[in-house]
């Protein structure tokens, strides 16, 4: 048995409102899901160390539909698999009232996930739960604008800080700047990112009690979140060009 909220948390961390088709790989009660956004902007992995399902490789083609099925359940769920000719064809979910069936797909329909060459990180930040919440609030306040500039500078006390600047690139700009102290090896960076995806990643990991954020001078941002049973990591590419 596994609680509904854990299943929802796992799915939300790879789905990000865009990653419909993935493979679930279960081995020794550990689930791993590698994913890549359709635009190839984000590559990541989500794992759960206590996932009660037999060893298998499952092709999840329509994550939105699976999310809808899980949402109507309550409390603890029993997960089971059904085979046809040695091929897993159905994922069954049941609670005290519902018995649900999700049709698994053909593995050939699931695209391959790319790889990431991990660069040298020039910024390393510890994100507290307050940082995660405040960054989400900053983006939400300017919800119609997807621009975000990540910069490195010094604050009024001469300390190295990383600034997250949310705002519009044209006209009389509305902007919000949020600063975080951290291990910063290179000053003067100004790298644009998609703030919508940035917010989605943070929002999907609000339940993780904070995390770590890293940045390379080449324009790759990394996230790592860890809890007792769930781990998630992401690598997001910079936007092409943005003027602030």
Provide the token pair at 244.
């602030």
pLDDT in tens, 142-159: 988 888 999 999 999 999
Q: Any alpha helices (H) in 154-239, and if so which ranges?
A: 195-204
Predicted local distance difference test score (pLDDT) of residue 242: 47
| 6 close to 93: Cβ distance less than 8 angstroms | no
Predicted local distance difference test score (pLDDT) of residue 67: 97
* Burial label, 58 (beta-carbon count in 10 A; 0-12, 13-18, 19+): buried
239: left (phi over 0), alpha (psi -120 to 50) or beta: beta
pLDDT band at 172 (very low <50, low <70, confident <90, very high): low
pLDDT band at 244 (very low <50, low <70, confident <90, very high): very low
Alpha carbons 186 and 180: distance in angstroms, whole number: 15
pLDDT at residue 171 is higher than 60: no
**Contact partners, residue 89, CB within 8 Å, separation at least 6:** 82, 83, 103, 104
Alpha carbons 165 and 178: distance in angstroms, whole number: 7
Residue whose tokens read 């291990």: 183
pTM, two decimals, is: 0.94
Q: Which residues of 174-192 are buried (b: 16+ CB within 10 A; e: fewer)?
A: eebebebebebeeeebebb
- Please state the φ and ψ torsions of residue 178, each to the nearest 5 degrees: -125, 130
């Amino acid at each position: 048995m596994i609680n509904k909220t854990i299943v929802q948390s796992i799915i939300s961390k790879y789905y990000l409102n865009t990653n419909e088709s993935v493979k679930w790989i279960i081995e020794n009660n550990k689930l791993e899901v590698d994913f890549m956004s359709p635009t190839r902007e984000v590559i990541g992995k989500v794992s759960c160390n206590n996932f009660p399902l037999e060893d298998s490789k499952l092709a999840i083609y329509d994550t939105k539909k699976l999310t809808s099925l899980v949402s109507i359940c309550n409390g603890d769920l029993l997960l089971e698999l059904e085979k046809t000719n040695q091929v897993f064809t159905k994922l069954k979910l049941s609670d005290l009232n519902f018995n649900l069936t999700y049709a698994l797909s053909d593995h050939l329909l699931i695209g391959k996930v790319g790889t990431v060459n991990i660069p040298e990180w020039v910024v390393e930040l510890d994100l507290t739960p307050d940082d995660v919440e405040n960054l989400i609030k900053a983006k939400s306040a300017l919800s119609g604008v997807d621009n975000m500039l990540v910069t490195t500078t010094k604050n009024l006390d001469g300390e190295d800080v990383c600034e997250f600047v949310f705002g519009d690139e044209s006209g009389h700009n509305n902007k919000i700047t949020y600063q975080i102290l951290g291990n910063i090896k290179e000053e003067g960076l100004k790298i644009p990112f998609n703030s919508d995806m940035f917010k989605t990643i943070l929002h999907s990991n609000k339940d993780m009690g904070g995390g770590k954020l890293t940045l390379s001078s080449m324009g790759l941002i990394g996230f790592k979140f860890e809890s007792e049973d769930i781990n998630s990591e992401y690598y997001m590419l910079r936007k092409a060009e943005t003027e602030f």
